[in-house]
Amino acid sequence: MSNIEKKYNELKDKINYYASKYYNDDEPEISDFEYDMLMVELRNIEKEHPELIAKDSPTQVIVATGKVNEKFSEVTHEVPLQSLQDVFNLEDIKDFLNRVEKEVDNPSYCVETKIDGLSVSLEYVDGILVRGSTRGNGLVGEDVTENLKAIKTIPSKLTERVTITARGEVYLPREELDRINEEREALGEKIFANCRNAAAGSLRQLDSNVTASRNLSVFVFNMQKIEGKNITSHHESIEYMKKLGMNVIPYSKKCKTIDEIYASIQEIGDLRPTLPFDIDGAVIKIDDLKQRDELGTTVKVPKWAVAYKYPPEKKETSVLDIVIQVGRTGALTPVAILDPVPVAGSIISKTTLHNEDFIKEKDIKIGDKVYIQKAGDVIPEIVEVLKNKRTGNEKNFKMPTKCPVCGAPTERVEGEAVVRCTGIECPAQLFRSLVHFASRDAMDIEGLGPAVIEQLLDAELIKNVADIYSLKKEDIASLERMGDKSADNLINAINKSKSNSLDKLINSFGIRHVGGKSAKLIAQSFENLDAIMNASVEELSAIKEVGEIMAISIHEFFENDQTKDLIKKLKQAGLNMEGLKKEIKDNRFDGMIFVLTGTLPTLGRKEASDIIESYGGKVSGSVSKKTTYVLAGEEAGSKLTKAQELGIKIIDEKEFLELINNEI
């Protein structure tokens, strides 16, 4: 294999990996600009060495990966949702115009904002929204109709009874991203990298209520198809869709010459910092729809449009200091305090340095001159250290060995980049700990949500988790929007939680690597909480599905003095500490996975689940290739359909009972 072929394959695989993180996982690892530059490098190699072009090259497919998530039904797009060819300078635009003008006579163009969000298809029949789907791989997308109906700017009914398919971009306003990230950070959850990342994560939710809570919006920018109406230009289609009640693209200007086109691109660039939403470029399109048909498309992109990508704005500043922030999960995050500098429309005075590995990799010192830019035009980041400007007075930074908030020891687990505070009662973690403790999957204290917890903390009525059980009715009734009835309900919910099963309590502690399922396994393996606290790593790791890493995490958690203090207080409050040790009748279902769907004639879902577990089996909430049986009753839904598609064995209650009563 030649060096150029090796380089080509490495570059192709790298781009496909980054595309998968971006499109499939909604977790971009590099900036859009870095990704674009990799694509430019790949195209240049393919231009010089066409014999190397591979079928799985990102230049040959509509999206390098973009697979459909199995959580959603598939939708085949009647008109493919293609991507656009990117251009980066005036010469590239001229090349595009020259190619067009060789093929069609006297073309006119439209220049529009390129919204940075998630592309969707909206299908209306007789003016009613019947289906909405994501772009997916351009040919097949995901059915997210219910989630799209939760977006206020998408009309369920148009002003005319027309059958039309429109393409739009679901986006998240910048101020909404700030709000969501503040909430996620408070709960110890990973923050969204940018508005596009957040929009994708919000739209691809199984619960449409989550989508509705995120205040997404949409801009419609293309008419894919229409029945019974003769529309001849893109500009006309935009005006017509606006008349129908759709929220169309906010900036669309007709242009004729290269000068007019470039002036429009510059105008959009000037507007960019002031817009309440993210854009990642400007789109240049042929206006005449007949001329579009004449130009046609390649496998990946239309020949009648290109996307001009703006370069990221980069500024020089100084690292004045590096301080530590302790997150709600106990993660210690180094933050660079910067000499304030304007970047992409806002004044930047600090930026996260992620972890100590990032600092070492970039070789960042206190006092350094650095270049910063906004990743995805939202989150500021240090992209380069100007080592040639060092004076010798710069200082190295060291992660602290004790939490700067509570003084508990810090630790870095092997294989992880994060340094954490080990104190469960650390004030910096308190809000997150309380929210998790009261959540549905933990102690399930109805009415004790984030807003109430925040008020209780502000009023200094609680200072640790155990204080929940010392609250009085008058304490709660004194809070804003909380009267006597609400206070009574919350006190009742708190008292009710005392009798929760032990797995709920274990899950409520927020032990790293331990979730609801593993908490139940642990509770079933010991007589009580004291036995768990006294268990060795070896005893814990002997539990099925509890590996060594989880066992170490559990053991260290219960060894911590702050944990022991908390459990002592919870015992005094009267919480249930007894285990769930169950007798396994036999292991006939060992290694088998059951999925329940529909209503069974005589067995309740919990009763059926308990029976399966008593014979060593597992119950899962979703169908996959690993599923052994789907136990189906009346009104079985999508799980039954999925099982049929995958060829999974489907049984009814009668067959299920036969499995129990007979040897298998």
Per-residue three-class SS string for 110-173: EEEEEECCEEEEEEEECCEEEEEEECCCCCEEEECHHHHHCCCCCCCECCCCCCEEEEEEEECC
Q: Across all residues in the chain, what is the average pLDDT?
A: 86
pLDDT at 22 over 80: no
**Looking at the whole model, is its pTM more than 0.75?**
no
Max intra-chain CA distance, the chain? 85
Q: Which of 83-97, 189-203, 572-586 has the highest mean pLDDT?
A: 83-97
- Ramachandran region, residue 367 (left: φ > 0; alpha: ψ -120 to 50; beta: rest): left
The reported pLDDT for the residue numbered 664 is: 43
**Closest Cα to residue 199, out of 118, 120, 279?**
118
Both tokens of 280, joined, read 């990642």
The reported pLDDT for the residue numbered 631 is: 93
The 8-class DSSP code of residue 190 comes to: P
Q: pLDDT for 73-101, tens place per residue?
A: 889 999 999 989 999 888 999 999 999 99
Give catalytic residue positions.
Answer: 114
Number of other CB atoms surrounding residue 365 within 10 Å:
18
| Residue 470: band (very low, low, confident or very high) from pLDDT cuts 50, 70, 90 | very high
Q: Is the dihedral of CA 232, 236, 242, 246 positive or negative?
A: positive
| Residue 200: band (very low, low, confident or very high) from pLDDT cuts 50, 70, 90 | confident
Q: Please state, for a pLDDT cut of 90, what percent of the chain lies above it.
A: 42
294-306 mean pLDDT: 90
Both tokens of 286, joined, read 């042929």
Work out the burial of residue 513: count CB atoms within 10 Å of its CB; fewer than 13 is exposed, 13-18 middle, 19 or more buried.
middle
Number of other CB atoms surrounding residue 228 within 10 Å:
8
Calpha distance 58→19 (Å, rounded): 9
Place of tokens 């509770």: 523
pLDDT at 538 over 80: yes
Both tokens of 72, joined, read 């959603």
Calpha distance 500→280 (Å, rounded): 50
**Closest Cα to residue 166, out of 244, 67, 88?**
244
Work out the burial of residue 659: count CB atoms within 10 Å of its CB; fewer than 13 is exposed, 13-18 middle, 19 or more buried.
buried
417-441 mean pLDDT: 82
The reported pLDDT for the residue numbered 67 is: 52
The 8-class DSSP code of residue 474 comes to: H
**Closest Cα to residue 571, out of 496, 466, 501, 434?**
466
Calpha distance 65→9 (Å, rounded): 16
The answer to whether the CB of 35 falls within 8 A of the CB of 379 is no
The 8-class DSSP code of residue 577 comes to: -
Calpha distance 567→552 (Å, rounded): 19
Place of tokens 């292991």: 587
Calpha distance 404→335 (Å, rounded): 14
pLDDT at 66 over 60: no
Number of other CB atoms surrounding residue 570 within 10 Å:
21
Contacts of 111 (CB under 8 A, 6+ apart): 252, 253, 255, 261, 264, 265, 268, 282, 283, 284, 285
- Ramachandran region, residue 251 (left: φ > 0; alpha: ψ -120 to 50; beta: rest): beta
Which carries the bigger pLDDT value, residue 117 or residue 128? 128
Calpha distance 23→570 (Å, rounded): 45
Q: pLDDT for 436-452, tens place per residue?
A: 899 988 999 999 988 88
Q: Show the beta-strand stretches assigned E in 42-126.
A: 74-76, 85-87, 109-115, 118-125
| Residue 14: band (very low, low, confident or very high) from pLDDT cuts 50, 70, 90 | confident
| Residue 582: band (very low, low, confident or very high) from pLDDT cuts 50, 70, 90 | low
| Residue 70: band (very low, low, confident or very high) from pLDDT cuts 50, 70, 90 | low
The answer to whether the CB of 309 falls within 8 A of the CB of 87 is yes
The answer to whether the CB of 52 falls within 8 A of the CB of 4 is yes
Q: Is the dihedral of CA 643, 649, 654, 656 positive or negative?
A: negative
Calpha distance 385→389 (Å, rounded): 9
Could you report how far apart the first and last alpha carbons of the chain are, in Å? Answer: 54
Domains along the sequence of the chain with CATH: 3-52 (1.10.287.610), 74-308 (3.30.470.30), 314-389 (2.40.50.140), 427-572 (1.10.150.20), 593-661 (3.40.50.10190)
pLDDT at 579 over 70: yes
Q: pLDDT for 115-125, tens place per residue?
A: 988 899 999 99
pLDDT at 206 over 70: no
Work out the burial of residue 382: count CB atoms within 10 Å of its CB; fewer than 13 is exposed, 13-18 middle, 19 or more buried.
buried
The 8-class DSSP code of residue 29 comes to: S
The reported pLDDT for the residue numbered 299 is: 74
The reported pLDDT for the residue numbered 603 is: 86
The answer to whether the CB of 554 falls within 8 A of the CB of 560 is no
pLDDT at 7 over 90: no
Both tokens of 131, joined, read 């289906």
255-263 mean pLDDT: 94
The answer to whether the CB of 556 falls within 8 A of the CB of 535 is no
pLDDT at 62 over 60: no
How wide is the angle at C-alpha 268 spanned by C-alphas 266 and 269, nearest 5°? 60
427-438 and 174-186 helices, crossing angle to 10°: 90
Q: Is 329 helix (H, G, I), strand (E, B) or coil?
A: coil
36 to each of 14, 30, 41, 73, 281, how far by Cα in Å? 12, 10, 9, 31, 12
pLDDT at 107 over 80: yes
